[in-house]
Structure 1
Amino acid sequence: MRLRTRGDDAARELLSAHYLPYARAQAAKLYARRTHDGFEFDEYLQFAVVGLMESLERYSPDHGAQFKTFATPRIIGAMLNGLERLSERQQQIGLRRRLAAERTASLAAGALSEGNAQRLLRELGDIGVGVALGILLEGTGMLVDHDEGLPDNAYSRVELRQLRLQIWRLVENLTPRERDVIRLHYQQLKPFEEIAIELQLTRGRVSQLHQQGLKRLHSLTVRGGRCDIAY
């Protein structure tokens, strides 16, 4: 009652310590019934504790239910919701890694020069610029938070946002096929294989169009003289 009426911190600590073994037991039950090994037991327990703490804050003995009866569905729900969000996050990270590998392979498709240091550096620089352009393009994608990964400095955030908008405006100057590939890949985060099926092209052709599109964007930024990415 002290926790419910006065928000007593000492009472909260005593109750959480008392019911922690129960939350652990619920986590162990769900962990034992897992269908895959994507998460460790500690992650189950972490979300179970979240559910326990929420139950302690919301429980009222006036409703007549025992605390464990009240808390059990909330502890289980907290675990299921937390693991679902964690799974979605892992899937998105995995997708971005696969897309990044695809992009880099596309940009480095041609054999790098041997025996000519200046040409090799220029080719490596072109690949680096292509990767940087890709990062900017994806920054305005549908599945990406506009502010994700931006510096804390407010002026820098505005500059980057404006730069991204400039790059996407330049995409309008690409050929129709290049534009389709760039939009599907960076706005909708589709891998080359899915784009190939949608556009009825080979995967190799999609990779080639991706490379051509980024090279053309690079040329357009140099010609325009307004996008710092070109330098």
Structure 2
Amino acid sequence: MYTAKGTLNRDDQLRKYSPLVRRLAHHMIAKLPPSVEIDDLIQVGMIGLTEAISRFEPTQGVQFETFASQRIRGAMIDELREGDWMSRGSRKSQKDIEQAVSRLQQKLKRPPIESEIAKELGMNLADYQHLLAKVRGTQLVYLEDIGGHSEDDDGFLDRHVGDEEAEPSARLQDQRMRQALVAAINVLPEREQHIMSMYYEHDMNLKEIAAVLGVTESRICQLHSQSIARLRTKLREH
């Protein structure tokens, strides 16, 4: 494990902890857009692991796996921040959909249907559905400012793909957020309830949900993006 100089053996540690890099990458990729490649995260994570090996000091009283996990996550998040992983156009499109849903919800006193949302946006149904498909993958950003945070990339990354060893108050806030999310899902239109429940409560991906419901994955993507707009509108009431 250690060299003659008392430092960690780099090759041994890389072999031993490469599964940790893959595990952290897969955990993070679940919360990111499809445009982010898992192999890219793993590659950057391995760089973080290499740096952790070179900088680790056993005298610090911290286990190497804990130290390495922080370095690996940090390397991945830095890479995401440097890349244009969420375009301004996609963010604006999501906000436009959300605002249309909010206006219609207030006016109709019920969840608006797709055609009504499309009309509110000045689109035909096909163009609206194309827009829903276009914004797929960035939809989790809708949840980033529920607690009143500013809408910025760093804040989203820190809150949603950062260190799992969060302080108790942060874990409690996350628990309350999850409870509010489940409550919001329960007032969605029935079909969207099923989709979001499978996605958030049962950790199913969109392809699996499409197979269960007997529709295309692209259709599930559309409904998922639309549901997120509804959820954010509802969650902002809390």
**TM band (smaller chain):** 0.3 to 0.5
Looking at both structures, which has the greater relative contact order when contacts are Cα pairs under 8 Å and sequence separation is at least 6? 2
**TM-score with structure 2 length normalisation?**
0.41
